[in-house]
């Protein structure tokens, strides 16, 4: 048979094509048989994956981190790798890991277990020591290596400021649950909840990969500089007065922003395990919201505000003070038991006359008096966004334990109870043109990278703007007339002391110890802050005007610096331009 003249060309093409085909087949077999691909194929189309999103961070109003996250390690042991247990235990001990906990965990595992979690929440430093030991022992010819140890990093809560604002923040336990304070109140939005999901193993479906959102970051109204200052002042006050506990609250009366809030004791939130030691028994975690007490004479500002607003009295209304008054068949005496003679209403406040305010309350009558007390929010929780707020108690006519005498005693803060925050919220009406603001700790939250600010909420308008200005002016005059230790040169401040007897659980009042309080706000023409101070059972002196007024002055001096508040003259000069 005659061969075609160009047959070699066809033959070449055929050989090339055949070679390419064979090469492709070889490559397919090689790729399919590779270890990596075999591993991927074994996974199937989807694989289970555990996600541990980080808990949302907490910042103060100026962007300083108050609660963040740190890396800790879970340390596990693969029993199928036949680990040399004495070597493993020695390495754990050398890394500073508690062997008692390790032994306990091992004892809890069934004999058939293939993997054991030896320890969890191990600090990065300890884990690093163990990793270094593992590297050194790797490939040990005697088989005494640590290759069976596994490390799984995850987040744990960390508080870089330690005990700063601890009463407000609360804490997070190892199971990622928030307790007390902000951590409990906003646990549902802060916690990035761990989830177990099926994720596609196919790299071409990477866009279907689930995006697990982290916990939301939040910004608090707290100013850490002010917070640190009031905590320092409070600690010094407890030392100098011998008080058993103390509380200071600072709020912006226009917005309700809590700028600082502290009570004693405080705790380093990184060591929350010590809580039962630091807060034994029924000790409240945050007295500002969780401990109601008889506030005493600071309530007189509310009684007087109600009477002024109800046109029962005017600032120049004169009352003749014989030193006592009988209300509901009960004799109520002034704090010194002496007659004070003729006093106008400012004098009644300046001298903190119990019988004068009891008289004012009787002039108001039950309906009007208790109506105003309720409008000021007494007897109801403020609703602040902190966990474990208590309501206090305001007995009302008709209640089984209310007696007519209560009208007189409630007028000066006895026979009723309120938390420091309730008093602050009530007083915000006096400092904010009659409008009472909702106290809040959440300034903003970050959602999808956008900051959503919390809006100011007005709870109500218990008194008119005119009344608010009048009572503020009377209180400023009262402070000035008594040359109070709370006065700050150059700044006009409204304020009122409160020295209250401590009720006994068995009935009656403690004849030795008192609760000393002070509430004040300023500058008078444009209030930027309300400060409430409460010292429980001070020993150096019983009078709040002596014990607490100087502390108030210290706090206000700090606020003037931190909030950049010019003195009255400068401010008027600037506003007049």
Report CA 272 to chain centroid distance, whole Å: 15
- Pairing state between β 149-158 and 258-263: unpaired
How many Cβ atoms are within 10 Å of 55's Cβ, its own excluded?
Answer: 26
Closest approach of another protein to the CB of residue 160, in Å: 4
How many Cβ atoms are within 10 Å of 81's Cβ, its own excluded?
Answer: 14
Closest approach of another protein to the CB of residue 554, in Å: 10
Shortest CA distance to 498 belongs to which of 454, 549, 460? 549
Token digits for 444?
């903003």
Choice between 54 and 310, CB closer to another protein = 54
Choice between 79 and 212, CB closer to another protein = 212
- Pairing state between β 494-503 and 458-460: unpaired
Choice between 347 and 527, CB closer to another protein = 527
Q: How far is the CA of 92 from the CAs of 6, 29, 75, 141, 309, in angstroms?
A: 79, 46, 10, 21, 72
Choice between 140 and 573, CB closer to another protein = 573
Choice between 218 and 350, CB closer to another protein = 218
Distance (Å, whole) CA 393 – CA 406: 12
Closest approach of another protein to the CB of residue 6, in Å: 9
Closest approach of another protein to the CB of residue 137, in Å: 16
Residues whose CB falls within 8 Å of the CB of residue 377, separated by 6 or more in sequence, listed in order: 422, 425, 426, 436, 459, 460
Choice between 10 and 104, CB closer to another protein = 10
Choice between 43 and 540, CB closer to another protein = 43
Q: How far is the CA of 122 from the CAs of 98, 154, 156, in angstroms?
A: 10, 10, 10
Q: Please report where in the chains the tokens 């209560």 appear, as a residue.
A: 406
Token digits for 480?
């000035």
Closest approach of another protein to the CB of residue 252, in Å: 11
Residue 360 and residue 313 in contact, taking contact as beta carbons nearer than 8 Å:
yes
Choice between 17 and 512, CB closer to another protein = 17
Distance (Å, whole) CA 288 – CA 290: 6
Closest approach of another protein to the CB of residue 286, in Å: 19
Choice between 213 and 365, CB closer to another protein = 213
Closest approach of another protein to the CB of residue 255, in Å: 10
Distance (Å, whole) CA 29 – CA 199: 28
Identify the three-state secondary structure at position 416.
coil
Closest approach of another protein to the CB of residue 437, in Å: 17
Closest approach of another protein to the CB of residue 574, in Å: 5
């Amino acid at each position: 048979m005659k061969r075609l003249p160009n047959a070699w060309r066809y033959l070449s093409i055929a050989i090339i094509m055949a070679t390419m085909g064979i090469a492709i087949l070889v490559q397919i077999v090689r790729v399919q048989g590779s270890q990596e691909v075999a591993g991927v194929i074994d996974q199937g189309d989807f694989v289970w994956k555990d996600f541990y999103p980080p808990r949302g961070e907490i910042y103060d109003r100026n962007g300083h981190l108050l609660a963040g996250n740190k890396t800790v390690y879970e340390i596990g042991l693969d029993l199928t790798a036949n680990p040399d247990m004495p070597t493993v235990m020695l390495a754990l001990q050398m890394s500073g890991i508690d062997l008692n906990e390790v032994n306990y965990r091992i004892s809890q595992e069934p004999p058939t277990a293939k993997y054991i979690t030896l320890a969890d929440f191990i600090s990065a430093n300890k884990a690093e020591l163990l990793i270094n030991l593992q590297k050194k022992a790797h490939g040990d010819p005697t088989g005494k290596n640590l290759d069976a140890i596994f490390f799984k990093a995850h987040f744990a809560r960390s508080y870089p400021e330690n005990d700063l604002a601890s009463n407000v923040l609360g804490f997070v336990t190892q199971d990622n649950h928030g307790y007390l304070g902000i951590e409990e109140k906003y646990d549902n939005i802060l916690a990035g909840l761990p989830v177990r999901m099926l994720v596609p193993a196919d790299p071409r479906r990477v866009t279907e990969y689930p995006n697990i959102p982290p916990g939301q970051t939040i910004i608090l109204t707290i100013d850490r500089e002010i917070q640190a200052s009031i905590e320092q002042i409070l600690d010094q006050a407890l030392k100098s007065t011998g008080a058993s506990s103390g509380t200071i609250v600072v709020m912006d009366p226009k917005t309700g922003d809590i700028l600082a809030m502290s009570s004693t004791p405080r705790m380093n939130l990184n060591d929350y395990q010590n809580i039962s030691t630091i807060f034994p028994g029924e000790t409240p975690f945050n007295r500002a919201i969780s401990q109601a007490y008889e506030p005493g004479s600071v309530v007189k500002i509310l009684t007087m505000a109600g009477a002024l607003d109800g046109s029962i009295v005017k600032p120049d209304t004169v009352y003749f003070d014989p030193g006592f008054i009988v209300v509901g068949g009960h004799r109520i005496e002034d704090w010194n038991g002496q007659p004070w003679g003729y006093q106008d209403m400012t004098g009644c406040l300046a001298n903190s006359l119990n019988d004068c305010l009891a008289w004012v309350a009787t002039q108001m009558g039950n309906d009007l008096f208790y109506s105003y007390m309720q409008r000021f929010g007494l007897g109801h929780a403020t609703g602040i966004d902190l966990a474990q707020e208590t309501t206090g108690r305001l007995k009302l006519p008709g209640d089984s334990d209310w007696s007519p005498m209560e009208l007189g005693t409630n007028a000066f803060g006895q026979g009723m109870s309120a938390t420091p925050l309730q008093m602050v919220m009530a007083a915000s009406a006096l400092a904010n043109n009659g409008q009472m603001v909702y106290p809040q700790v959440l300034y903003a939250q970050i959602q999808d990278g956008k900051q959503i600010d919390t809006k100011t909420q007005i709870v109500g308008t218990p008194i008119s703007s005119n009344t608010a200005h009048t009572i503020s002016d009377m209180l400023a005059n009262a402070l000035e007339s008594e040359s109070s230790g709370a006065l700050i040169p150059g700044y006009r401040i409204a304020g009122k002391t409160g020295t209250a007897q401590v009720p006994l659980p068995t009935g009656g009042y403690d004849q030795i110890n008192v609760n000393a309080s002070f509430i004040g706000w300023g500058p008078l023409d444009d209030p930027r802050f309300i400060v409430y101070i409460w010292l429980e059972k001070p020993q150096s002196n019983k009078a709040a005007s002596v014990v607490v007024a100087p502390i108030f002055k210290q706090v206000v001096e700090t606020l003037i610096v931190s909030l950049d508040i010019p003195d009255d003259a400068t401010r008027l000069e600037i506003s007049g331009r």
